[in-house]
Structure formats: structure tokens, C-alpha cells
Amino acid sequence: MTTVHEPAAALTDAEGLAVWPASTAEPRPGELSVGGVRLTEIAERFGTPAYVLDEDEVRRRCRTYRDTFPEAEIHYAAKAFLCRAMAGWVREEGLGLDVCSAGELQLALSAGFPADRIVLHGNAKTPDDLGQALRYGVGRIVIDSPSEIARLAAAVGPDGHQKVMVRVVPGISAGGHEKIRTGTADQKFGLSISDGYAQHAIARILDQPQLELTGLHCHLGSQITAVKPYVAAVRRMVGLMARLHDQHGLVLPELDLGGGHGIAYRPGERALDLPLLARKVRAELIEACAAAGLPVPRLILEPGRAVAGPAGVALYRVVTVKHTGGRTFVAVDGGMSDNPRPALYGVRYAPRLVGRRVSTTLAPVTVVGRHCEAGDVVAADVPLPDDVRPGDLVALPVAGAYHLSMASGYNLVGRPPVAAVRDGRARLLVRRESAEDLHSRDVGL
């Protein structure tokens, strides 16, 4: 039997909108607007599925990082979401950029992003990745494996010069799911302190005069909501810096703590406390460096999800409503091809019906996608009005990060468009992927 939740169990409007962009408003019952633009207008103009990105929310979050960490260098992690407009906003707000491929690098450069404010990451950088980075003069390349050292030195050439960092594994487990924890030695990223690989790689880099080692890098994982792992990472990274100073007389001017800053996807969930993180990390860095007799290095942070995620809203149209096996399935016109995160690591969302007056009685439903996979679930066991029906518009907040950037061509559906909203206006940033786009790559006839 389907359980019906009484209206008293529902969240208040303020609670329900807690994870939405700050500009979200309800101009009339059942309707929502973001950036002064009604979500129904977005759906009518651009179709569904579609992504809405609040430009002011992105910019506000960039400024929050700058203001909270005034002494640090902040790089936006492009893997979370990147388009030319996003690169432009990040540049104008004074942030640098992290890229993981030649493709991300070229897109950023095409938007006018300065190459010297770009850092190249990646555990398996291809010759093309390294070649493009050197050709355009990226600010730093983060070395992730021993084999990269000789390849990079050879590509730079005896008369060249490239600033590099080393990605170190500090042996700290943190992150919202085992698939996004990267601070321990049992995963593919970085060089471990505990087995000596990090120290050995650093010694090899110092033997390459064309490579300038500017600092150490670590990234503990993603969706981290506690401050303690970052404080522990500072302690261990400074400890390594002290040993490098003793062994090589090396004083490194930079320390990159990566990103992974957790955000709330549903009302009531915890997010990383940035002011607390700043206070604790700053205090630990000063204290640890003083104890080691080292100058305090310049701190670098790499937020991605925490900048883009809360600024995005995904819009879907309900296609069918099915009652079967004691459950209610609400199927929408998108799914795992435009958001694989629920299938990959079980993320949970708080969808909302928008665009009309709805019943105040809520019922548990599972919002599913249109794809031929039983695991194509958008949001499992969530409360929606019990009068949900085909044609309704479903809005999914906190959809700005790792949705479109991880989208696929499964079932040849085509990836959704992205529209930016600001000051009551909407403009297209990324157009919908058409059947012609998909078919043009098929040259086998």
C-alpha cells in the first residue's frame, strides 16, 4: 500500500528552497523563478530536459572563496562544469582554472582565459595533453606519476622551462562515497608519502633543470563536509616539506590542498563550513610551518562543485506515471544520460513540481529516467504532490556540477542545453545536442 504523507510533514517553502540559488522566488503559488526568470518560461523556450545556470550565484560563490581565503590562490575545477561563459565568469571574478585535458584547455583558451592562470591535472596525461599545455604556456602542470617526469622534461627540451607541482597522497580517507575518495594509496591518483614514491619523484624532478618544482598538491576526495581531514592534510604535507628541506635544502613556495568541498543537495544536509575551514587550515599551516622552521607557503584551493553545483537547476517534463509493485514511478524525459551521478554513487536529490498549483498532499514516488536501465533513477523515494501527472514540470536543484560534464550519448538521446539567467533574462550558453550532431560522427556507410 502506498503511504501518504500528511501536509504537516511537508517542508515549509523556506526549508524546501534552502538548497536552491539565492535568487529563487515564488512569484505565484506553484511557480518558481530563478534569476528573475520563470522556470516554465525556460522550459517553453528551450524545451526539456534543460539546465538553468544562475550567473549571479556562480559569481557570488567565486567571490565568497576570494573573500574567505584572501591570502590564497583559488582555481575553479573545470571538470565540474565548463563552457565558454563559465570560463569568462571565473576569469572576471579573479579565479584561476584547473583543467584535466587538452579539450578543457582549448575551450578555456577560446574564451580568452589566460594560459598562465591555468593548471593541468590528470593521472594519465596524453602526449597531446602535455603538448598543448606546453604550447600555450599553462601556469603549472601537476605531476601525477613517475613516468610523467621524463616525458615532460623531454617535451620541454633542454632550453625550456615549466613550473610543476607533485600530487601527493597523504594517506587520509575522506569523501562522500568510496568512488570519490582520492586521499589514500589504494586508488589511481598521486604519489604516496608512506611508500616513498612521492619523495623519490621529487628527487627526480630536482635533477631536471628545465622543471621548476613550485609546490606540493593533494586532493582528498569529493563531497567532504568535515574540516578535520583538511587540517590533517596540512600537517602531513608540511611534514613532507620539512623532510624535503632537510634532505635537499628545498623551500617550496606553494601548497595546494585541492578541492572536494561538500555542498548540500537536500534541505537539512550538511555543507562544508568555509569560514571554519579557513580559520583551521590557516592556523594549522602557520603553526606547522613555525615548528618546522619553514616560511608559510602560498595556499591554493580548487573548488568546483561548491561553485557550480548550487547554481544549477535541471528541468524535466513528466512523461508517464506508473503505479506498480506498491510503488509509484514518475518517469521524466531525461535521466542517466544527462545525470549519471545517482547511478554512479547513489547521490540523492530533492525534486519539486513547478508551473501549476498542486495538491498539498504528498506521496512518496521514485523519479526515473527514460533510459533502458533499471538503475536509471533520478531521485528515489521522494515526496511529490499526489496529483503529479504527465506534462508536469519537475525541477531538480543543485544540478550545476557533474551533470552535463559527465553526460553521455546513451540511447542517442542528445545532451540538454544550458541557459544562463540573470536580471530577468535568459540566454543560451550551450545548445541542445541534435540528432544531426549525433549522426554526423557515424561515417561507416
Known catalytic residues are 372
From 233, 263, 350, select the one nearest 80 (Cα to Cα): 263
CB atoms within 10 A of CB 328: 19
CA dihedral 380, 383, 387, 390 (to 10 degrees): -30
Helices (H), 124-209: 127-136, 146-156, 197-206
CB contact at 8 A, 360 and 10: yes
Cell 518558481 sits at which residue? 32
Rounded to 5 degrees, what are φ and ψ at 49?
A: -65, 155
Alpha helices in 163-227 (DSSP H): 197-206
Phi-psi region of 425 (alpha: psi -120 to 50; beta: other; left: phi over 0): beta
Residue carrying C-alpha cell 575553479: 76
SS3 per residue for 340-377: CHHHHHCCCCCCEEECCCCCCCEEEEEEECCCCCCCCE
Cα 290 to Cα 280: distance, rounded to the nearest angstrom: 15
CA pair distance 65, 169, nearest whole angstrom:
25
Residue partners of 310: CB distance under 8 A and separation at least 6: 19, 20, 21, 57, 61, 263, 397, 398, 400
Q: What's the CA gap between 130 and 114, in Å, rounded?
A: 17
Angle between helices 84-92 and 55-68 (to 10 degrees): 40
- The residue written with cell numbers 620541454 in the block is 156
